[in-house]
Chain A
Amino acid sequence: MPDASDEDLRADYQASLRIAGIVVPADRDQAMFDAFKMVREMIGALHRPWRYDEEPAHIQRPVAPDGSGR
């Protein structure tokens, strides 16, 4: 969410908590909101357009590495 305002982020943060059904004590709300912003920034690196031909190779249960360098 590179262009989201702080207000938008706070709304998303509160929605995340509501959907998850968890309550953050008032005195820890700012610290958790800061963590929310940090997570969204960190995880932004994961978001890339999907290549449809790669799906079968990636959607499976985690398995031990086999060294094949697939």
Chain B
Amino acid sequence: MSADPASLTLAGAARALKAGTLSPVELLEATIERVRRWDPALNAFVLLSEARARADAERAHRDIAAGKWRGPLHGVPYGLKDIIDTEGIRTTCHSRLLIDNVPARDAHVATLLRDAGGVLMGKLATHEFATGGPAFDLPFPPARNPWDPARFTGGSSSGSGAAVASGMLPLALGTDTGGSIRLPAAYCGVAGIKPTYGRVSRRGVAPLSFSLDHIGPLCWTVEDCALSMGVLAGFDVADPGSADLPVPDYAAALDFGVSGKTIGYVRAFSEGASDDMAAGIEAALAELSRLGARIVEVKLPAMSLFQAAFRAICSAEGFAVHAHDLRSRPHLYARVTRERLMVGAFVTGEDYVQGQRLRRELTAAVDGALRDVDLLASAAILTPAPRLEDVDTSPLRRAAPITVPFNITGHPALSLCCGYGQGGLPLALQLVGRPFDEARVLGAGHAYERATRWRERRPVLAASAAAAR
């Protein structure tokens, strides 16, 4: 047993809980202590739901003791990005507009985690309404990166990345419209998967862009993501984008490995990467090759086309969601959120339809590339985490993140740590699979993680927290 049970991975905690060498209540107490100690420096939580967590943990303790173990999430603490509805627990979208919003029902994913016996620790910081950027004119401060609290976590699932990287939580849910799971996973050095569009229900989650929004887990390891996906994946008739397809055993698929697989490296997507990031990606590909994968180079349509389609679709759909509030009470948004949403007013109906038209072609092109290879690979980010004050908060960034193409196409995409660069900040690889083939993506990521030692290094919180003060 670890000296600090709160630092266990999800898989490690699940083994100890099932074996009875750790109780959900002990794990909860250790987690609360960790959150109280570290969150004041990291701002990952906007709400600690301690009463609910105690009730969940005590119920899990009774059930497991009675031999009613529900699976690997039973008794395990988790957090939800604060755009995910929780019955009776405030859900603000990190915004003044919803500061008193207490949903009457759980989001579908919140119900799934509750039914799996998880222990809800609280609601996690996000960029306001999952868009905008880090802002200081909101009711809650922006989350900070555990590897260096002066630095950006990535977003918009900023609290999810910070909570997992710091070891406060083994599992946090995020949402991903243009990279909002994979970017904080990358900048914070954890694993995060955006499943295939349609794989995880979005019911009860505040929309940003209904045709681009995805939900998925952030965890310390790929194995933990696979265990979480086993609970989260599945058809939901109430989500019009949900896919009625069988869900594989993701945990069993972790043994797939990469031997004999072909991985297509999309070199053009890594253009402009910093030297340390480029070296980290090359080393990761070499490691995958050593594990038996065949690495080939693949060309996809130009990034500028993915970005143009993304801009038209995301801006138009986001504006539709927020138009009423942008007209009637714009002062309640943070400046960066308000301006980025207002950009949707500059997109015409023709732009939107042309964006959807191009999207079909781009999706077909990625499907075509994945007929010749098993997986695609690229960098997940171009540089390690920037300092918070250096993050672009202008109304429109010229270059969207390199995670965007797979929101446009809907393919499953994983970000995982592939080393540490300048200043000890995490580097990150993105692996992309065929539609609904999360299993192969997770299997490859797991094989890479097992072959490397990156998961043995955690942020040094004592030093980093002191630096933030």
Contact = CB atoms under 8 A, between A and B. Distances in A.
A4 B356 CA distance: 26
Given A36-B346, A39-B315, A39-B346, A46 B358 contact: yes
A31 interface: yes
Contact of B409 (A19, A23, A65, A70): A65
B342 A45 contact: no
Interface hub of B307, B367, B371 (most chain A Cβ within 10 A): B367
Contact of B360 (A17, A57, A61): A57
B351 interface: yes
B360 to A, nearest CB: 5
Interface hub of B346, B350, B364, B396 (most chain A Cβ within 10 A): B346
A20 B338 CA distance: 14
Contacts of B220: none
Q: How large is the interface on A (under 10, 10 to 19, 20 to 34, 35 or more residues)?
A: 35 or more
Q: How large is the interface on B (under 10, 10 to 19, 20 to 34, 35 or more residues)?
A: 35 or more
Nearest to B198: A64
A47 B347 CA distance: 12
Contacts of B440: none
Contacts of B409: 65
Contacts of A2: none
B339 A31 contact: yes
Interface string B301-345: 000110111011001000100010011001000010001001111
B410 A65 contact: yes
A28 to B, nearest CB: 7
Interface of A: 13, 16-17, 19-24, 28, 31-32, 34-36, 38-40, 42-48, 54, 57-59, 61-70
13 contacts: A17-B345, A19-B345, A20-B323, A42-B304, A42-B398, A44-B308, A62-B359, A63-B241, A64-B199, A65-B435, A67-B367, A67-B370, A69-B364
